[in-house]
Every structure is written in structure tokens, then in C-alpha cells.
Amino acid sequence: MVFGYMPLHLTNTLFIPLIEPTYAPNDVLRMVRELLPAATDQVLAWTVGVHVAAGVTLRVMSWYRRWRRRGRRYVTRVEADTSPRRIGLIGGLSGYFLGLNKTVRHSPHALSGYLLVPLLAYHAALMKWLPARVGVDVDFDFVQWLLYGGTGSAWTRWGLGIMPLAGLVSVGAYHMFTGLVQLFRWRSLELRRKIFNVVIGINVVGLVSLWRLSTVRPIMNIQYHRILQQLLWR
């Protein structure tokens, strides 16, 4: 179910608005909702929770092993560790333009995971939990309303709409592809550079799609204000 949901959701949120941002996203969204079972939201929530718990557990175990080794003498390796677990895809933008960064202290994959958790939680709250609490059904009309600035506030438009969604696309794409690289143990730096190019491409597509959605004059639904009031505790 998860592997079926993700391609459909990514296609509808990244690529459909790039082609036609006004009506097509809602049309595809209705089709996706008809295809997926009613328990999809619960399954996704449990899957993400298990993934986060497993990642935190592995990170704590890694910290504990390093703490146990502290003070012991080891032979220093001459060759820098360029594994994807250590430096991510290619060591960040500095690795892309200036060569590998050999002083990466923390795993970029883990750091992107830490950033992704609050972004995902915010996205789920804004699109699922809060609308359900106030009894408002949301679709792409709500997204267009928020990105267009339906509240009349630039802070709401950018701080609650554009920036969190842009961060979700950017961090999510990087975390997903670094995870695939580690899962399949792809150590070739040339291949990882190509994958990083794909991540950059997804970011560009995502930003253009957000811009396209933000140019659509939305349906002014006064009920949408109730969602933001619930979010901001007003």
C-alpha cells in the first residue's frame, strides 16, 4: 500500500501542477482517493512511526558504540570514508562542486531525517488532522488558497505555506534517495553524483510546481480560516 501510495502522491503533487495547476490536481486526487483503501492514512502513520523509531534506535546504538570506543587506540585509516552512510550521496553541495568533503561529522541521511520528521508532522497536521478536527474537507483548493495568500498575510503565505512545502520536497527527496543508496549499497561515487542530479531535478520541479499553484486564484472558502485558527491556537 505504501509503495503504491507514494508514486501516486508524488506524481500528483510534483508533476501534475507543473503541467496544469488549476483543475488537474484535484481531478487526479479524486482518482487516487478512489483507488486507495480507507485505511491508507492509518497505515501510512504507523509505517512512518516505525521507520522513525527504527532510525532513532540505530542512531542511539551507533552513538553508544562510539562512546564505548572513546579513549581506546585504533589505527587511523589513511583512506577517507566515502560510504553513503558516512557522507550521504556526495558530501553535500561542497562535494558536488569542490570535491568530497572528508570532514563530515554527522550522517547527512540522519540529519535529513531529523529535519523531515517535523516537516512531515506539520504537513499531516495541516492537511489531515486539523481539517478533520474542525470538520472541513480539504483538497488542492486549500493548497492553492494557502499558497496564493488567501488570508491576506504574507507571513501566512510564506511561513505556513510555501516554505514548509518547499522544505518538505527538498529534504524528503534527499532523504528518500540517500536511503535507497544505502539500501542497495551503491558505493560508486559516479552513480551517486547522478542520483544527486535527480534530487536537484526533483527540487526544481517541486519549486516550479509550487509557484504554478501559487498563481491560481483560489476559491475563497471562509472555512479554511478555521484550520489556520486551530493551527495557531486562536
Res 15: pLDDT = 93
Which residue type occupies 30?
A: R
User: Is-contact 191 124, C-beta < 8 A?
Assistant: no
As to burial, measured by CB atoms within 10 angstroms (0-12 exposed, 13-18 middle, 19+ buried), residue 217 is exposed
pLDDT above 70 coverage of the chain, percent: 82
Res 27: pLDDT = 93
Question: Which tens digits make up the pLDDT trace of 110-158?
Answer: 889 999 999 999 999 999 999 999 999 999 999 999 999 888 889 999 9
Please give the Cα distance from 55 to 63 (Å, whole number). 12
Average pLDDT over residues 64-70: 79
Q: Give the sign of the dihedral formed by CA 136, CA 142, CA 147, CA 153.
A: negative
User: For the chain, what is the domain count?
Assistant: 1
Res 98: pLDDT = 43
Average pLDDT over residues 154-171: 94
C-alpha cell at 24: 488537474
Please give the Cα distance from 64 to 221 (Å, whole number). 52
Tracing cell 488549476 back to the chain, one arrives at 22
Q: Which range marks the domain in which residue 127 is found?
A: 2-231
Res 131: pLDDT = 94
Predicted TM-score of the model (pTM): 0.82
Q: Return the SS3 of 216.
A: coil
Most confident of 158-172, 183-197, 210-224: 158-172
pLDDT of 78 above 70: no
Residue 209 confidence class, pLDDT cut points 50, 70, 90 = very high
List CB contacts of 211: < 8 A, sequence separation 6 or more.
none
Res 207: pLDDT = 95
Res 87: pLDDT = 57
